C-alpha cells in the first residue's frame, strides 16, 4: 500500500470527465486527493457486507463485482465493475454497507477517505454533481438488471449482459472493436443472472450456435452486433453514456 503518483488517477479523471466537463481547477482538485493504492488477488473482498465505511474507492485496474451473500451460502452478483468505476460511492451516505465487493481478477484499487471526498464536493459543486451522477448511473444499471431478470429467459439475459459489458468497456476505451476482456467464469455469470451454472453453459452454447458471440481465453467477441442487440432487446439508453450534466 503506498501513495499513488498523480498520473495513475487517469481512469478516474477520465470517468468523471464523461459525467460532466471539468475545469483545470477541478481536475487539479481531483488529482490532489490523497489516495491509498492497494492490490488484491483474485477472489478477495475489497469491502465486506456489514462493514462500517470510512472511505470509498475507485477501481484502477481489473474486474470486480458487488455481491450479496445469502444465509444459505449462495451469492448474488448485483453488478460488475470495470476500471474507472467507483462501486461504493454510496457509502459516502450509507455508512453501513449492505453489500460486499469482491475481485474477479487481480485488482488495483485506490481508496480515498470520505472526509476528503466530502471536502472536495463542498468546494467544487460540479464534482459533487459528477459523483452523484456516477451513483445514478449505477442505479440505472440495477434497474436494467431488474428488467433483465423479470422479462428475459436465460439466453436473452446472458446476451443482454454481454451487450452491457461490451458497451461499458467501449465507453471507457477498453474494447477492441467488438471484442473485450471478459474474465468471468460461468459460475460467476450464473451468480449474476440468477441461474445454475449448468444452464448458463447451455445458454452460452445457444448464443454460440446462433453465431452471436464467442468466448475464448477470457475474451468476449461479438460476431453479429445488430443481431445480438435485437436478440437481447438491448437499448443502451439506460447507460446514459453520451449525456453530460449541466
Partner DNA sequence: CGTTTGGTTGAAATGTGTCAAACTTTGTGG
Partner DNA sequence: CCACAAAGTTTGACACATTTCAACCAAACG
Tell me how far apart the alpha carbons of residues 176 and 127 are, in angstroms, rounded to a whole number.
30
Question: Which of a copy of itself, DNA, none binds 199 (CB below 5-8 Å, type-dependent)?
Answer: DNA
> Using the rule CB under 8 A, is 23 a contact of a copy of itself?
no
Residue 181 grid cell: 476482456
Q: What is the 3-state secondary structure (H, E, C) of 113-141?
A: EHHHHHHHHHHCHHHHHHHHHHHHHHHHH
Q: From residue 90 to residue 109, what is the string marking binding to a copy of itself with x (rule CB under 8 A)?
A: x--xxxx-xx----------
Tell me how far apart the alpha carbons of residues 137 and 240 are, in angstroms, rounded to a whole number.
7
Q: Is 215 exposed, middle or buried (0-12, 13-18, 19+ CB in 10 A)?
A: middle
> Using the rule CB under 8 A, is 133 a contact of a copy of itself?
yes
Query: Cβ neighbours of residue 148 under 8 Å, at least 6 residues apart?
Result: 157, 160, 161, 193
Contact with a copy of itself (CB under 8 A): which of 4, 29, 33, 140?
A: 140
Question: Which of DNA, a copy of itself, none binds 226 (CB below 5-8 Å, type-dependent)?
Answer: none
Residue closer to a copy of itself by CB (options 78, 158) is: 78
Q: What is the CA radius of gyration of the chain?
A: 18
Q: Which residues bind DNA (CB under 7 A)?
A: 153-155, 185-187, 194-199, 201-202, 204-205, 217
Q: Which stretch binds a copy of itself (CB under 8 A): 5-13, 27-35, 142-150, 159-167?
A: 142-150
Contact with a copy of itself (CB under 8 A): which of 13, 66, 108, 203?
A: 66
Tell me how far apart the alpha carbons of residues 163 and 142 are, in angstroms, rounded to a whole number.
15
Vertex 174, ends 132 and 104: CA angle to 5°? 75
**For binding to a copy of itself (CB under 8 A), which residues are involved?**
66, 68, 70-71, 74, 76, 78-79, 90, 93-96, 98-99, 122, 125, 128-129, 132-133, 135-136, 138-140, 142-143, 145-147, 149-151, 191-194, 233, 237-238, 240, 243, 245
Amino acid at each position: 500500500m503506498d501513495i499513488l503518483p498523480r498520473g495513475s488517477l487517469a481512469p478516474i479523471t477520465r470517468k468523471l470527465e464523461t459525467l460532466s466537463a471539468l475545469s483545470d481547477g477541478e481536475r487539479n482538485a481531483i488529482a490532489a486527493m490523497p489516495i491509498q493504492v492497494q492490490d488484491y488477488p483474485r477472489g478477495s473482498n475489497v469491502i465486506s457486507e456489514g462493514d462500517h465505511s470510512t472511505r470509498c474507492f475507485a477501481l484502477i485496474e481489473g474486474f470486480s463485482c458487488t455481491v450479496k451473500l445469502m444465509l444459505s451460502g449462495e451469492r448474488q452478483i448485483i453488478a460488475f465493475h470495470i476500471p474507472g468505476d467507483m462501486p461504493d460511492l454510496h457509502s459516502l451516505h450509507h455508512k453501513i454497507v449492505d453489500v460486499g465487493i469482491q475481485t474477479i481478477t487481480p485488482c488495483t484499487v485506490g481508496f480515498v477517505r470520505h472526509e476528503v471526498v466530502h471536502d472536495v464536493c463542498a468546494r467544487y459543486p460540479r464534482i459533487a454533481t459528477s459523483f452523484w451522477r456516477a451513483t445514478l448511473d449505477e442505479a440505472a444499471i440495477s434497474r436494467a438488471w431488474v428488467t433483465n431478470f423479470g422479462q428475459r429467459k436465460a439466453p436473452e439475459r446472458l446476451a443482454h449482459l454481454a451487450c452491457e459489458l461490451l458497451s461499458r468497456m467501449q465507453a471507457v476505451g477498453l474494447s477492441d472493436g467488438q471484442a473485450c476482456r471478459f474474465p468471468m467464469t460461468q459460475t460467476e455469470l450464473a451468480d449474476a443472472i440468477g441461474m445454475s451454472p449448468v444452464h448458463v453453459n447451455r445458454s452460452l452454447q445457444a448464443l454460440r450456435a446462433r453465431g452471436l458471440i464467442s468466448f475464448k481465453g477470457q475474451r468476449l467477441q461479438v460476431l453479429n452486433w445488430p443481431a445480438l442487440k435485437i436478440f437481447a432487446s438491448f437499448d443502451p439508453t439506460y447507460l446514459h453514456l453520451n449525456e453530460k450534466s449541466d
